[in-house]
Chains A and B, each alone.
Chain A
C-alpha cells in the first residue's frame, strides 16, 4: 500500500489533535520484548480481553510472550499446541531460534512470520495468536481462530418441505465449506476481498471458472473494489453498494440463506458473494424471471412444480393488483362487475362512510402495520398480533362500519398472496409497488393502473443486474431459457445452462462422448 498504514495514520491524527496528552507509542517492532508488548498494549488501548502471557522457553534461558484476544481464539488449542510445546521443549537452539521454534516446536498448521506492527495487530484482532521472542524482530502469527459461533441450522427465512436442511451461518469459513461440500469442482474459485475500512471484514466472491462468464466476474470484482464504508453489518450493504440502480424497487442481487441455492446458481453461471458476519449470501446477476422461483420447484415432480409456479405467478398478480383493481372497479367502472355482485357490494358498502380508495388504503396500511409489528415482536408475543389482527380486520372493522366485508376479503387474499412470493426482498418490492398501483387506481382508475404497469415495464427493460438486462430472458428473448421460466421442464430436459448469462460452458451435463473413446 502506498498510503501510510492505518495505525500510523490514526496515530498521526491523534497526535495532531492532542499532541501534548498522547502517550507516544512506536509502530516499529524492536528487539526488546518489553517494548514490543508495551507498544501492542497501547496500540489496542489495553483492553480487558487481551491476554499476554510471558513465558520462558523450556530448555533455554530465553524470554518470550504470546498474545491473543480471549473470546476470538480457541484457548485449548493455545494451551495444548503452543504453550505446552514451548514450555516442554528440551532442545537447545543456538542460532535462529525463531525458525527452530516455528519448524520444530509449535504444533499448529498455519503459521506466518511478520515484522510489521499493523499486520500483527490485525492478526490478533482476527483471532490469531502472536508469538514474541526477546531479542528478535520476527514475530510468529499462529492461526488459532475459534470462539463461539452459531451452529448450522435450518434457514428461517426460506423453509422448504423437501430439500437440504442446512443453512448458512455467520462465519464465512463455515459458509465457504458448505459450498465446497456441495461442489467438489477444482474450478470453484473463492476470490477474497476485504470490506470495511475499520472492520476489515472478509468478503469472498465465489464462482466456477470455466462456467461463469469472465465479464461478470470482472465487473463484480471491479464494483467490490469501490466499496468504501466503515463497517458492513450485513451483505445488504454490499448489495446496495454494487447494485446497478439505487432508484429501483427491484432487488438486483438476490439474497439467500440456502447453500443448495447458491450451489445450483453457481452451476448456472452466476456468482455468489459471501460476507463475513452474515448468513445471507448474495447471488448475481438475477433477472425478473428468477423472482418467483423457489428451490422447491426442483424437488417436486415437474408437473406439480410447474403448476405451483403458475400458482405463484397468479399470487404475484393478486399481490400487486388486487386492491387497486378493487378501487378501480368499485369507484370508476362498477359496470364491469356482474350486476348481482355490484348490488351486494353496494349493499355492504352502504354503511361505509369512505370512498373505496380510502377504505382500501386504510385496510392496506393496517395490514402493513400488523405485518411489521409481527416481524419485530418476539415469537411468544407474536401470536397476540395474530389475534388482534384477526379481530380488528375480520370482525370489528366491519361491524363498526369502517370497511366493507368485500374489502376484508380483498385484503386477506392480497396478504396471503404476497406471502407466497418465495424471496423476501422481492415480496418487499411488490409491497411498495402495490401502493403505487392503489394510488394510481384511486386517481385514474384502470387507466392509472395500466400506466403504472407500463412504467414498471419501462423501468424493468432499462434495468440491469451486473450488466445483464433485468428483463431477460423474456426480452431480449432467449427461447431456450423458457424451459425453466414459467414452466419447469423435466430435469432430464434441463441439460443446458441459462443462455442469457452467456456461460462459457453451456452444457450442464456431459453428453458429448470424449474424443478417442
Chain B
C-alpha cells in the first residue's frame, strides 16, 4: 500500500540538487563581477570562475559523499563516531557560529542594498527586522517546507536571470570582451580565490544530507546543482563584462543590479528594472538566509535534542539581529562578509579533510556494514 511518504520530514535527492544553488546564489553574486574584474584583465575572469567552480564542485561532492556514507545519521552522530564526541560538539558549535554570522550577514546585506535601490529614508532597523521576521516564520515551519520553498523560488530566479541576460544582448559589445587571456598567473590565482569565496554555505550539506531518505545519488546531485550555480555565475559575469567592459565593472558596486538598470524591456511598460529585479533577487537571498538559519537550528538541535526547535529559533533571533546591525557602513559590511566567507570556507575545508582522514582510518569498514 502506498502512503503519503512525501508529507513527512524527508527529502529527495532532487531537492538537494536545487538546494545547493539556492544556498550558493545570494548576495555575493550581485557584487561578484566587480570583485573579479578588480583582479583580472578584460573578460579573463571566466578562467577564474571555471577553476574555482571546479574546486567548488569537487568540494560539494566530497561533502555530500562523506555525509552520504552515513545515511540518515545526523552530522553530530557520524562526527562523534569519526572524531569522538567532544570534538563533534565543538564542530557543531563552530558550524552554528557560521550559520548565525551568515544569516546576520545576509540580513545586513539585504538591508544595505535595499537602502541603495529601493528606499533611502526607511530606517535600516525596520528593513532588517521585517526581513528577519519573515526568515523566522520560514524556519519555524517544517524543514521539508524549506526545501519546497527552494523548489518554488529557484525557477523564478533562474528565469529572471535568463531574461536579464537575454535583454542585455542588445547592449553587449565585442570590444569589451577582447582581448582574451592577458591576465598573469597571480591575477588568476586571486580571481579564483575571490570567486571561490562567493560560493558560501556548502557546509549546510553536512547536515542536510541526513534528511535524504536514500542518499546514494546525493553527492552526484549536489555536484550537479553546484555546476548549475557555476554556470549562472559565469553567465552573469560575462554579461556584465560584455555590457559594461572591465574598467566600468570594476567601479560599479553591484554590477549585476546595474545591469537591470541599463536594460529596457521591449514595450517599455516598466523602466529602471533594477528595483523589480532586486526585489525578485530578495527571494534568492531569502532561501540562502533561511537555510543558513535552519541548518544552525538543526545542528544545535542535534546536541540539545530536548530543547524545542521554536525555542532555539527565538533565542537566536535577537543575536542575529544585533550582529546584523553591527557594521556601521557598507565597507564594514563588506569586511563582515569577507570574514563570513573565509570562516565558512576555512571551517568547511578543515572539517571535510578531518572527517575524510578519520573515515579512511577507522570508519570505512564499520560504516560499510551499516
**Residue B272, interface by CB 8 Å:** yes
**A502 and B279 contact, CB distance less than 8 A:** no
**B118 and A454 contact, CB distance less than 8 A:** no
Enumerate chain B residues within 8 angstroms of A461, measured Cβ to Cβ. Answer: 141-142, 145-146, 148-149, 152
CA distance A337 to B269 in the complex (A): 7
Chain A residues engaging chain B, CB cutoff 8 angstroms? 213-215, 332-333, 335-339, 444-451, 454-455, 457-458, 461-462, 464, 467-469, 471-472, 474-477, 502, 504
**B131 and A471 contact, CB distance less than 8 A:** no
Partner of A215, one of B3, B14, B271, B273: B3
Partner of A339, one of B6, B15, B141, B271: B271
Interface residues on B, range: 35 or more
Known: A337-B270, A454-B134, A504-B2. A447 touches B141 (CB 8 A): no
CA distance A153 to B250 in the complex (A): 71
**A447 and B119 contact, CB distance less than 8 A:** yes
**Residue B1, interface by CB 8 Å:** yes
**B118 and A502 contact, CB distance less than 8 A:** no
Chain B residues engaging chain A, CB cutoff 8 angstroms? 1-4, 6-7, 12, 14-15, 114, 118-119, 122, 126-127, 130-131, 134, 137-138, 141-142, 145-153, 268-273, 275-276, 279-280, 282-283, 286
- For this complex, 16 residue pairs linking A to B, each with C-beta atoms less than 8 Å apart, are A213-B3, A332-B118, A333-B275, A337-B270, A338-B270, A339-B271, A444-B130, A445-B119, A447-B118, A447-B279, A450-B280, A454-B283, A469-B7, A471-B152, A475-B150, A502-B4
**A464 and B7 contact, CB distance less than 8 A:** yes
Partner of B283, one of A444, A445, A450: A450
CA distance A471 to B150 in the complex (A): 12
**B272 and A335 contact, CB distance less than 8 A:** yes
CA distance A71 to B114 in the complex (A): 69
**B148 and A476 contact, CB distance less than 8 A:** yes
Enumerate chain A residues within 8 angstroms of B146, measured Cβ to Cβ. Answer: 461
CA distance A213 to B146 in the complex (A): 26
Please give the distance in Å from A430's CB to the nearest CB on chain B. 18
CA distance A468 to B119 in the complex (A): 40
Enumerate chain A residues within 8 angstroms of B150, measured Cβ to Cβ. Answer: 475
**B12 and A447 contact, CB distance less than 8 A:** no
Please give the distance in Å from A471's CB to the nearest CB on chain B. 5
**B280 and A336 contact, CB distance less than 8 A:** no
- Which of A444, A445, A462, A474 counts the most chain B CB atoms within 10 A? A462
Q: A-B contact count, CB below 8 Å?
A: 112
**A450 and B282 contact, CB distance less than 8 A:** yes
CA distance A455 to B283 in the complex (A): 11
CA distance A445 to B279 in the complex (A): 10
Please give the distance in Å from B243's CB to the nearest CB on chain A. 20
Please give the distance in Å from A325's CB to the nearest CB on chain B. 10
Q: A457-B152, A504-B2 are in contact. List 20 more A-B contacts (CB 8 A).
A: A335-B271, A335-B275, A336-B272, A336-B275, A444-B122, A446-B118, A446-B276, A447-B118, A447-B127, A450-B279, A450-B280, A454-B282, A454-B286, A458-B141, A462-B142, A462-B145, A469-B148, A471-B148, A474-B151, A476-B151
Enumerate chain A residues within 8 angstroms of B118, measured Cβ to Cβ. Answer: 332-333, 445-447
**B4 and A213 contact, CB distance less than 8 A:** yes
Please give the distance in Å from B237's CB to the nearest CB on chain A. 25
Please give the distance in Å from A481's CB to the nearest CB on chain B. 13
State the 4 A-B residue pairs at the shortest beta-carbon distance, nearest first.
A475-B151, A475-B148, A461-B148, A461-B145
Enumerate chain B residues within 8 angstroms of A336, measured Cβ to Cβ. Answer: 270-273, 275-276
CA distance A477 to B149 in the complex (A): 11
Please give the distance in Å from B264's CB to the nearest CB on chain A. 10
**B149 and A458 contact, CB distance less than 8 A:** yes
Enumerate chain B residues within 8 angstroms of A504, measured Cβ to Cβ. Answer: 2
**B114 and A447 contact, CB distance less than 8 A:** yes
Please give the distance in Å from B263's CB to the nearest CB on chain A. 13
**B268 and A338 contact, CB distance less than 8 A:** yes
**B6 and A469 contact, CB distance less than 8 A:** yes
- Which B residue sits closest to A339, measured CB to CB? B271
**A446 and B279 contact, CB distance less than 8 A:** yes
Enumerate chain A residues within 8 angstroms of B151, measured Cβ to Cβ. Answer: 474-477
**B14 and A477 contact, CB distance less than 8 A:** yes
Enumerate chain B residues within 8 angstroms of A454, measured Cβ to Cβ. Answer: 134, 138, 282-283, 286
CA distance A221 to B153 in the complex (A): 35
CA distance A502 to B3 in the complex (A): 8
CA distance A346 to B6 in the complex (A): 52
Please give the distance in Å from B135's CB to the nearest CB on chain A. 9
- Which B residue sits closest to A472, measured CB to CB? B6
CA distance A290 to B185 in the complex (A): 57
Known: A461-B152, A462-B141. A338 touches B134 (CB 8 A): no
- Which of B137, B145, B153 counts the most chain A CB atoms within 10 A? B145
CA distance A123 to B273 in the complex (A): 70
- Which B residue sits closest to A285, measured CB to CB? B4
CA distance A461 to B273 in the complex (A): 29
- Which of A213, A333, A458 counts the most chain B CB atoms within 10 A? A458
Partner of A458, one of B3, B4, B137, B272: B137
- Which of B146, B148, B152 counts the most chain A CB atoms within 10 A? B148
Please give the distance in Å from B8's CB to the nearest CB on chain A. 10
CA distance A448 to B118 in the complex (A): 11
- Which A residue sits closest to B14, measured CB to CB? A477
Please give the distance in Å from B48's CB to the nearest CB on chain A. 32
**A468 and B4 contact, CB distance less than 8 A:** yes
Enumerate chain A residues within 8 angstroms of B137, measured Cβ to Cβ. Answer: 455, 458
CA distance A464 to B114 in the complex (A): 34
Enumerate chain A residues within 8 angstroms of B153, measured Cβ to Cβ. Answer: 457
Enumerate chain A residues within 8 angstroms of B268, measured Cβ to Cβ. Answer: 338
- Which of A332, A333, A447, A467 counts the most chain B CB atoms within 10 A? A447
CA distance A215 to B1 in the complex (A): 9
CA distance A467 to B118 in the complex (A): 40
Enumerate chain B residues within 8 angstroms of A474, measured Cβ to Cβ. Answer: 151-152
Enumerate chain B residues within 8 angstroms of A468, measured Cβ to Cβ. Answer: 4, 7
CA distance A467 to B144 in the complex (A): 14
Partner of A214, one of B1, B142, B147: B1
**A447 and B282 contact, CB distance less than 8 A:** yes
Enumerate chain A residues within 8 angstroms of B147, measured Cβ to Cβ. Answer: 475
Please give the distance in Å from A370's CB to the nearest CB on chain B. 29
Please give the distance in Å from A436's CB to the nearest CB on chain B. 13
Please give the distance in Å from A510's CB to the nearest CB on chain B. 20
Enumerate chain A residues within 8 angstroms of B149, measured Cβ to Cβ. Answer: 457-458, 461, 475
CA distance A472 to B130 in the complex (A): 28
- Which B residue sits closest to A214, measured CB to CB? B1
- Which B residue sits closest to A474, measured CB to CB? B152
**A458 and B134 contact, CB distance less than 8 A:** yes
